[in-house]
Amino acid sequence: MQPVILCLGLLSCSESTTERASPWESTSAEALAPLSQPARLGIAPETALPGAELTLTARVPQADDRRSELSVDLEMDAEEVDRALMLRSEGDALIGSIVLNAPAAEGDHLFSIHGALGSSRIEAHAAVNISSGARCGEGEILEAGRCVARVDGHHIKVERGISVNHRSAGRGRLGHMIHPRSARRYGDVIVACMTDAIGLIPVAELPIIDEPIDSAAERLRANLVETRLERSRITVSEHLLVFPERGIAVSSSRGADNKARGGLSSWRLPPLDSRPLAPPEHISSMTGGRGFGDMVRVGDRIFAIHHPNGIASVRLLENGRLRLDGDLDLPAMRGASTVAYDGTHLLVAGATDAHEVSLYGGTMHVLELKEPGMPIVLSSAHTTGTPRGIAILDDEMVAVANGALGIDLFDLGSPAAPQLIANVHTPGSAMGLSFEGGYLLVADWDNIRLYDASVRGRLRLLDAIDGFHPSYLAAGGGLHENGLTAANFVHLENGRFVAAELDVLLTGEIRRGAGAPRLVVHDRGHRLPREAHDEETITIRVSNGGRHQLDLEQPFDRKKDTAGSWCVPPGESALLTLKVAEENVVRTGANSSVILHSNDPENATPRILLIPSTVYQVGDPVPNFRLPMINICPDGSCPERLDCFDLDEEVAKGRPILLAAFASW
């Protein structure tokens, strides 16, 4: 029997009964037919009161097939408007305007035009935000609950970044994952938990995007200070909590097996405003058979996830040592994962017992605090998916990241009866959340997203970034050439953010009032068939992270006629079919790419990587491999010695084989 490579996936078919928080942000990507006639649709004002007048202006360029006038269909939120928009010839274009009353429902609304000019299909889109607070001056828009000046460009501005793998030569040979798990900025220093160390990085010494890699790595090694976790008797760590006024940090580890202990450790930080920085000093550790996870601070108490399904109360004493005050196992929860504090109650979320709800579901517990003593469970609510992170919003609202099932919005106006009022789809996998001043920043695995969360029960997409751009490569940004692949942590404070993905730290700022179209590429590499023909096609999934229409075009080649152009509405996802021919493939070293043109001001010529056909395909025989393995049995009957697994040997014995990959965050 010869094993073959299989491609498997999971699909959740359950329907949500909650309202979508953004009426025009798509929950799935649809195939877009190419356009042959670009068009523009504008709305004034971009922020309006319910029922106020809106002026929609459309412009369609004319080429050979010139017309004196043209009627196009008008839609709002994919529903036809009972009025056509008439365009008339003005110079080299057809232009027309129409005045409509704004809808009564508050939030984002998408207007679209559709039509035909000869054999050309016409399409254009524009978004408007309807709000009862929309009383802004000329040149201003309503954003995060306040009027801000309209500016060019994007909201998310990445300024500096680095791969922490550069911080010491040969570090990877130690066998630990060394990517950052959580990081926060205090003044000009980033305090980071980097899995096997607690590190301090001066922000000014992080390389600016586009800086050559040699100088970036050299400067990082010269200015980063760290203390290895081995000094705490805990070898790995996933979460970090900082008491800045006391100069103390606390790290947590869930452990792995009998080789990696779980526990909590406290560290004394040096003065962060002095140079050179001194390394953190280990104060104390609290280890045990059960590891610890996410943590939140309440005064001098730390409430930490105590695996698998508990919450522990830990006191940070005056001398910086840690003391366990109590432990509470939570009901109907097989894996607690995240904890937050809303100023009154603790919120703990995690995976639900499989028999309680669906395979994908989770639970959020609301706990009432007692002083002294342990908190008690006040109420519970089911989440759409398995919770990964919690953010406390304004107006007694809470956001819960559910991985591939998006973001839940809960109403905690009555803590004894939390209500799920909306679920917001994200194109990636929502892992981490951070809220400040009406803005919600989301680590969405292959992209980072920014929402306006100032309106109760709604999220308005402002921007999204995938890092899929030459300026974010390892030379400066530290990212792989395919951009973000596992963004799992974000922290937003004072308008500046820190994000972590794999071994990369990124820093930057939020620019208010922006809104340019933003290309987010979700399918980064495409494998061509081994027996490639002269002309193949590939399908890529993209989305528009900006507030204005995204225009995309595949460069035109007269011989092969491989041109294609598309427009993607704000916040929407789409599938594009691109043609791959010898004439439109660009080769850089060993890599080949297909080029697109876009109106994204920071990514005008994105490249779609083509994977060489010499690599393995689905259905190919699996090559033999050998892996080190420790055979551990619960009853202790198996010897705990290092052995080697040989695929061909096990297949020859006729044994069934399951290979599973585990992502630790």
Average pLDDT, integer, range 408-437: 96
The domain boundary residue, chosen from 585, 611, 637? 611
* Residue range 506-544, pLDDT digits in tens: 899 999 999 999 999 998 777 776 665 567 888 899 999
Query: Is it the case that residue 471 has pLDDT exceeding 60?
Result: no
* Confidence at residue 68, expressed as pLDDT on a 0 to 100 scale: 85
Rounded Cα distance, 32 and 125, in Å: 14
Of 7-21, 90-104, 341-355, 590-604, where does the model show the most confidence?
A: 90-104
187 shares its domain with 144:
no
Count of domains forming the chain: 3
pLDDT tier for residue 625 given thresholds of 50, 70 and 90 = confident
Tell me whether residue 537 is in a domain: yes
- The predicted structure's pLDDT at residue 392: 98
CA distance linking residue 402 with residue 420, whole number of Å: 13
- CATH number, residue 85: 2.60.40.10
User: 403 and 297, same structural domain?
Assistant: yes
Within a domain: residue 585? yes
Residue in 253, 256, 269, 257 with CA at minimum distance from that of residue 305: 253
CATH number reported for the structural domain that contains residue 395 in this entry: 2.130.10.10
What band does 475 get if pLDDT is binned at 50, 70 and 90?
A: very low
Q: What is the pLDDT of residues 97-133, one digit of tens each?
A: 999 999 999 999 999 999 988 878 889 999 999 999 8
User: pLDDT value at position 482?
Assistant: 66
Identify the band that residue 256 occupies on the pLDDT scale cut at 50, 70 and 90.
low
Q: Are 392 and 531 in the same domain?
A: no
Q: How many CB atoms lie within 10 A of CB 243?
A: 16
Let me know if residue 163 belongs to a domain.
Answer: no
What confidence category does residue 8 fall into, taking pLDDT thresholds of 50, 70 and 90? very low
- 496 found inside a domain: no
Q: What single string gives the DSSP state of each residue in 72-94?
A: EEEEETTEE-SS-EEEEEETTEE
509 belongs to a structural domain: no
* 39 close to 58: Cβ distance less than 8 angstroms: yes
E strand or H helix at 351, and its extent? Answer: strand 345-352
Ranking 163-177, 208-222, 301-315 by mean pLDDT, the lowest is: 163-177
Q: Which pLDDT score, from 0 to 100, does residue 5 have?
A: 30
Q: Which residue has the tokens 């004894």?
A: 416
Cα–Cα nearest to 442, from 458, 465, 411, 475: 465
Would you state the pLDDT for residue 329?
Answer: 93
Q: Which residue has the tokens 């106006």?
A: 413
What is the extent of the structural domain holding 257?
171-433
Reduced to 3 states (helix: H, G, I; strand: E, B; else coil), residue 218 is helix
Highest mean pLDDT among 73-77, 209-213, 479-483: 73-77
pLDDT, tens digit, 9 for 90 and up, residues 364-394? 999 999 877 799 999 999 999 999 999 999 9
Highest-confidence segment of 164-168, 192-196, 363-367, 469-473: 363-367
Give the C-alpha distances (Å, rounded to integers) separating 51 from 131, 230, 324, 577: 10, 64, 58, 40
Average pLDDT score over the chain: 83
Residues 415 and 559 in one domain: no
Q: Name the nearest CA neighbour of 398 among 382, 410, 415, 414.
A: 410
140 and 271 housed in the same domain: no
Closest CA to 504 of 186, 170, 209: 209
Q: Does some domain include residue 644? A: no
On whether both 232 and 319 belong to a single domain, the answer is yes
More confident residue, 485 or 94: 94
Residue 615 has pLDDT above 90, yes or no: no
* Bigger pLDDT: 664 vs 568: 568
- Asked whether residue 103 falls in the same domain as residue 175, the answer is no
The residue written with tokens 């909650």 in the block is 18
Residues 196 and 93 in one domain: no
* Res 472: pLDDT: 56
Is-contact 457 393, C-beta < 8 A?
no
3-class secondary-structure state, position 558: coil
Does residue 530 sit in the same domain as residue 593?
yes
CB-based contact 365:340 (threshold 8 Å): no
> Could you give the CA distance from residue 552 to residue 265 in angstroms, rounded to a whole number?
51
Tell me phi and psi for residue 23, to 5 degrees: -65, -15
pLDDT tens, position by position, 26-43: 556 777 766 666 799 999
The number of beta carbons lying within 10 Å of the beta carbon of residue 132 is 9
Say if 490 falls within a structural domain: no
592 phi, psi to nearest 5 deg: -125, 145
Task: Write the DSSP assignment of 297-320 as a string of letters.
Answer: EETTEEEEEETTTEEEEEEE-TTS
Write down the pLDDT at residue 127: 96
Nearest to 236 by CA among 195, 198, 266: 195
At 428 the pLDDT is 92
Determine what percent of the chain is predicted with pLDDT higher than 90: 52
- Give the residue from 593, 611, 629 where a domain finishes: 611
Based on the fold, state whether residues 245 and 371 are members of the same structural domain: yes
Residue 462 has what pLDDT? Answer: 98
Question: Sign of the CA dihedral 213, 214, 219, 220?
Answer: positive
Q: How confident is the model at residue 211 (pLDDT cuts 50, 70, 90)?
A: low
Tokens of 69: 């006038």
Which DSSP string corresponds to 488-551? Answer: EEEEEETTEEEEEETTEEEEEEE-TT-----EEES--EEEPPSS--SEEEEEEEEEE-SSS-EE
205 and 254 in a common domain: yes
Residue 25 lies in a domain: no
Are 262 and 384 in the same domain? yes
Domain boundary among 433, 448, 471: 433
Residue type, 413: G
